[in-house]
Amino acid sequence: MYIAACIFSVFCSLILPLGCALALCIRKRTLIRPLLLGAACFTVFQLFIRLPILQLVLPKMAWFALMSAAQPLLYCSFLGVTAGLFEELGRYIVMALFMKKRLSAAAGIGFGLGHGGIESVLLVGINSAAALFMAPMAEPGMILAGGVERLSAMLMHVAWSVLVMKSLRDRKPLLLLWAVLGHTLVDIFAAWALYMALPVWGIEAALMLCALWAFIFIKKEYEKEKMP
């Protein structure tokens, strides 16, 4: 069961993102640039900027040390807020600078797949693949849940990317605010739920409902663009 759970997680977090990216590039070569920019956006704004600030800069400040030690729910909320701000504003900045002439829903899908895909591969996929060759370190159910969570997260990243793209293209800053708010609330919910030890599959069910909304939104925007 453990091996099967690891294989499922590897499929969801490593094989599927890379496979979708490859298929997208083969089918529509114009989406290669948005996909690569999405991957670069996550790498720069999350891995090179946000995480070093959280891990190296803020721990030296008394208020942050006190919050992380004595106020866990506030700390979880702070992490959710910073994730929403850094990633969604990062999307907006990258799109505004490098995709001014590629502000279609399809380009947003490519961007989101690159963003969510590289996050999945780096944060979950590589570890899941390594777990296949190591002694069991987690319950199979938790590993399965991790794979399902990646599917939900990738769909939401695509939806947020399309939303930010729409904000930039239609000059509607409120849509960017909705992307920041949505991302923040999802991250806060997930962090609070884990801290309060809520049933893991209940958490995943809630995230899957969010992912269902994401899928409907993506489909609607893509089809709207294809209408004559």
- Tell me what the mean pLDDT of segment 72-92 comes to: 96
pLDDT tens digits along 187-213: 999 999 999 999 999 999 999 999 999
The predicted-structure confidence for 103-159, as pLDDT tens digits, reads as follows 899 999 999 999 999 999 999 999 888 888 876 777 888 889 999 999 999 999 999
CA distances from 74 to 25, 54, 70, 77 (A): 41, 15, 9, 5
Q: Is residue 98's pLDDT more than 80? A: yes
Q: Work out the end-to-end distance of the chain between its first and last CA atoms, rounded to an integer number of angstroms.
A: 50
Cα(18)–Cα(207) distance, integer angstroms: 22
- Whole-number pLDDT of residue 179: 97
What Cα–Cα distance (Å) separates residue 83 from each residue in 48, 53, 179, 187, 224? 13, 12, 11, 8, 30
Q: What percentage of the chain reaches a pLDDT higher than 90?
A: 81
Say how far apart CA 62 and CA 87 lie, in whole Å.
26
Whole-Å CA distances, 227 to 216, 218, 221, 222: 17, 15, 10, 9
- Encode pLDDT of 54-71 as tens digits: 999 999 999 999 999 999
pLDDT of residue 81: 97
Q: How is the chain split into domains, by residue range?
A: 2-226
Average pLDDT of the chain to the nearest whole number: 93
Q: Is the pLDDT of residue 228 over 60?
A: no
Whose tokens are 């030890």? That residue is: 197
